[in-house]
């Protein structure tokens, strides 16, 4: 059941949320440019720190490439749910801008790492990635000023709302545990990068750039998210090591229950 639910969210419901949110959002590129700079710096810093694990990992390249993506990818289901709860429509809009810009890059980087160590072709995998396609189409339609008819936008909005609830359920259903001490050390490193280093960079840089409170809250919340559950689907579809990804997702999701309140406290 849960495998089917995960695919439903990954291939249909969540792409609907991404496309509709980005298509309907009025982007204030000038007003949010500093926030996006902070998000990009935090994201690429986490990716670089995650890549450094290649030098001390004793895993085979395919296993490392599968887990590497967990150090920088973000759980958009939790991000949208938290942003809406904390800041309403403004929070969702700011999160949509950030996620809309970084989903294609995050997916592209993850696909690149897995394609490099497997028989998959990078361009083909990118074109087949539903999150990347939905985000790209949403940005393109927004820039061109193309808006969906109300009845289609309403349908996609309802599908998107379902993706958050079902996505959160699949997060819990997919929890797995560390199988060896070696797995534990590597996963602990990726978890530290994702839940501690990335939001620290976002918070310090955001305050240095004097972001407005709403934007600072949004970008730190984005950076503090646990890794994406879709990383497991991607690793399995590209014949990677789904087990180490599933364990990383479990550890980071449970860890975020402790670290997220910590970061929200600092934002007050």
CATH number of the domain bearing residue 66: 1.20.1530.20
Report the distance separating Cα 33 and Cα 94, nearest Å. Answer: 11
The length of the chain in residues reads: 268
Region for 178 from its dihedrals, namely left if φ exceeds 0, alpha if ψ lies in -120 to 50, beta otherwise: beta
Q: What is the model's pLDDT at position 223?
A: 95
DSSP string, 115-140: HHTSS--HHHHHHH-HHHHHHHHHHH
What is the extent of the structural domain holding 153? Answer: 2-266
CA distance 238 to 197: 28
pLDDT at 179: 58
Q: Is 238 exposed, middle or buried, given 0-12, 13-18 or 19+ CB atoms closer than 10 A?
A: buried
- Of the candidates 228, 230, 225, 237, the residue with the CA atom closest to the CA atom of residue 263: 225
pLDDT of residue 178: 57
Q: What pLDDT was estimated at residue 76?
A: 81
CA distance 118 to 98: 30
pTM for the complete prediction? 0.81
CA-CA distance, 219 to 203, in Å (whole number)? 8
Instruction: Return the number of other C-beta atoms located less than 10 Å from residue 167's C-beta.
Output: 26
Structural domains in the chain (count) = 1
Residue 258 CA to residue 178 CA, distance in Å, equals 19
The C-alpha atoms of residue 35 and residue 13 are separated, in whole angstroms, by: 27
Q: What is the DSSP letter of 55?
A: G
Q: Give the three-class secondary structure for 46.
A: helix
Crossing angle of helices 76-116 and 242-266, rounded to 10°: 140
Residue 72: the pLDDT is: 94
pLDDT in tens, the chain (268 residues): 877 887 788 788 878 887 887 777 776 667 788 999 999 999 999 999 999 988 877 777 888 888 899 999 998 878 888 888 887 777 877 888 888 788 888 888 888 888 776 555 666 766 777 877 887 888 888 888 888 888 888 888 888 778 777 776 776 666 666 555 557 788 899 999 999 999 999 999 999 999 998 899 999 999 999 998 778 777 877 777 778 888 888 889 889 999 999 998 877 6
Backbone angles phi, psi at 235, to 5 degrees: -60, -45
């Amino acid at each position: 059941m849960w495998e089917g639910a995960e695919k439903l969210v990954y291939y249909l419901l969540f792409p609907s949320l991404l496309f509709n949110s980005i298509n309907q959002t009025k982007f204030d590129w000038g007003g949010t440019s500093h926030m996006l700079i902070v998000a990009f710096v935090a994201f690429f810093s986490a990716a670089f720190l995650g890549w450094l694990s290649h030098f001390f990992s004793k895993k085979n390249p395919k296993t490392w490439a599968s887990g590497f993506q967990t150090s920088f990818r973000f759980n958009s289901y939790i991000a949208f749910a938290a942003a809406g709860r904390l800041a309403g429509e403004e929070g969702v809009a700011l999160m949509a801008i950030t996620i809309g810009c970084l989903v294609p890059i995050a997916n592209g980087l993850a696909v690149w790492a897995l394609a490099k160590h497997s028989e998959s072709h990078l361009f083909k995998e990118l074109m087949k990635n539903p999150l990347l396609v939905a985000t790209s189409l949403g940005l393109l339609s927004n820039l061109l000023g193309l808006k969906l008819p109300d009845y289609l936008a309403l349908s996609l909005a309802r599908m998107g709302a379902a993706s958050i609830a079902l996505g959160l359920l699949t997060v819990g259903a997919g929890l797995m545990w560390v199988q060896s001490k070696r797995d534990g050390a590597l996963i602990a490193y990726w978890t530290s990068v994702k839940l501690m280093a990335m939001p620290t960079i976002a918070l310090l840089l955001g305050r240095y750039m004097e972001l407005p409170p709403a934007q600072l809250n949004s970008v730190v919340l984005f950076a503090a998210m646990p890794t994406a559950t879709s990383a497991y689907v991607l690793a399995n579809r590209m014949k990677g090591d789904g087990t180490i990804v599933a364990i990383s997702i479990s550890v980071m999701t449970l860890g975020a229950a402790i670290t997220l309140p910590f970061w929200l406290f600092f934002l007050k």
